[in-house]
């Protein structure tokens, strides 16, 4: 993956029965896992312009209950194996569990997306080091069941920077090459709406401080209710488009999305605006 030439789009492929954002899940209680359906979604996202497919087998929405290692493996491994055979773009696994990450990389995943920033399972860093997989470190506090209890900040960007630096230090101590690490400020995770908007408004300072590529994942998240009202997740794509535009104009390297076909257009147009801002209007002195 070449980061920095343009924002890359990550398509979300949930393999859970309780995702907050999926109207038609590929995993329905009491029914076999729809591997073919998952592959079809991945191929459609790739055709629409996704640069990476992110497969996750445990919901991390606020209040979600954790699943066992065996259950998560049963969900993600068949999908990762099949998707890696069907698409040309890299595949990542969204997990904080070392054994799931190890098995997923062996099945073809090239990146490990840890929503805990090595807070839940520091041993995950050793898996990234051993396998050579890239590592996405997201900021959060606490577990999904009580993360909003931790959403108290005196200096939002300063505290995020401090805590992500600790995550980077854990990765480095385990032997992870810093050049293989991406950071994610964790919009919606242990953050109330005002905190998520604050991150979107000023995250370039965080990226500059940490000197790492930045992933932003605002897609369909509940912080938008403060502006759009209490509408279901699948009706938040217009709000997501605004957040995506802000992220691209701020210089985000990767954007994680559910509605890839629609929002790839938003990413591309916002990127043209960003580039025009760097060069100035036609005919302007340089």
* CA separation for the pair 102, 129 (Å, rounded): 11
Strand residues in 200-279 grouped as ranges (E):
215-216, 254-257
* CA separation for the pair 180, 161 (Å, rounded): 18
Check: CB of residue 29 under 8 Å from CB of residue 17: yes
Distance (Å) of CA 159 to CA 136, 151, 169, 202, 229: 19, 11, 15, 13, 29
Does the annotation mark 256 as catalytic? yes
3-state SS string for 241-282:
HHHHHHHHHCCCCEEEECCHHHHHHHHHHHHHHHHHHHHCCC
Distance (Å) of CA 242 to CA 34, 141, 197, 274: 32, 26, 11, 14
Residue of 212, 202, 221, 110 lying closest to 164 (CA atoms): 212
CB atoms within 10 A of CB 12: 23
Does the annotation mark 221 as catalytic? yes
Check: CB of residue 101 under 8 Å from CB of residue 115: no
Q: Which residue has the tokens 């990413």?
A: 267
Give the single-character DSSP code of 170. Answer: H
**Which among 41, 256, 274, 286 is annotated as catalytic?**
256
Q: In the chain, what is the straight-line distance between the N-terminal and C-terminal CA atoms, in Å?
A: 31
**Which among 103, 143, 221, 236 is annotated as catalytic?**
221
Catalytic residues, by residue number, are: 221, 256
């Amino acid at each position: 993956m070449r980061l920095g030439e343009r924002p890359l789009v990550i398509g979300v492929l949930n393999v859970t029965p309780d995702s907050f954002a999926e109207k038609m899940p590929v995993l329905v209680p009491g029914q076999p896992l729809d591997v073919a359906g998952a592959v079809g979604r991945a191929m459609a996202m790739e055709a629409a312009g996704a640069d990476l497919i992110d497969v996750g087998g445990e919901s991390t929405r606020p209040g979600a209950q954790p699943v066992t290692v065996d259950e998560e493996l049963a969900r993600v491994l068949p999908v990762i194996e099949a998707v890696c055979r069907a698409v040309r773009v890299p595949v990542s696994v969204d997990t904080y569990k070392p054994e799931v990450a190890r098995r997923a990389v062996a099945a073809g995943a090239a990146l490990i997306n840890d929503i805990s920033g090595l807070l839940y399972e520091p041993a995950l860093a050793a898996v990234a080091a051993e396998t050579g997989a890239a590592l996405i470190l997201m900021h959060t506090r606490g577990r999904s069941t009580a993360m909003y209890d931790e959403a108290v900040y005196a200096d939002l960007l300063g505290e995020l920077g401090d805590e992500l630096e600790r995550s980077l230090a854990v990765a480095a101590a385990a032997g992870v090459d810093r050049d293989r690490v991406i950071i994610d400020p964790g919009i919606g995770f242990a953050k109330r709406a005002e905190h998520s908007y604050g991150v979107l408004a000023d995250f370039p300072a965080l990226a500059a401080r940490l000197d790492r590529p930045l992933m932003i994942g605002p897609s369909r998240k509940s912080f938008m209710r403060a502006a759009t009202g209490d509408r279901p997740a699948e009706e938040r794509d217009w709000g997501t488009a605004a957040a995506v535009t802000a992220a691209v104009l701020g210089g985000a390297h990767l954007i994680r999305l559910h509605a890839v076909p629609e929002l790839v257009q938003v990413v591309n147009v916002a990127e043209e605006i960003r580039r025009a801002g760097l060069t100035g209007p036609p005919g302007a002195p340089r």
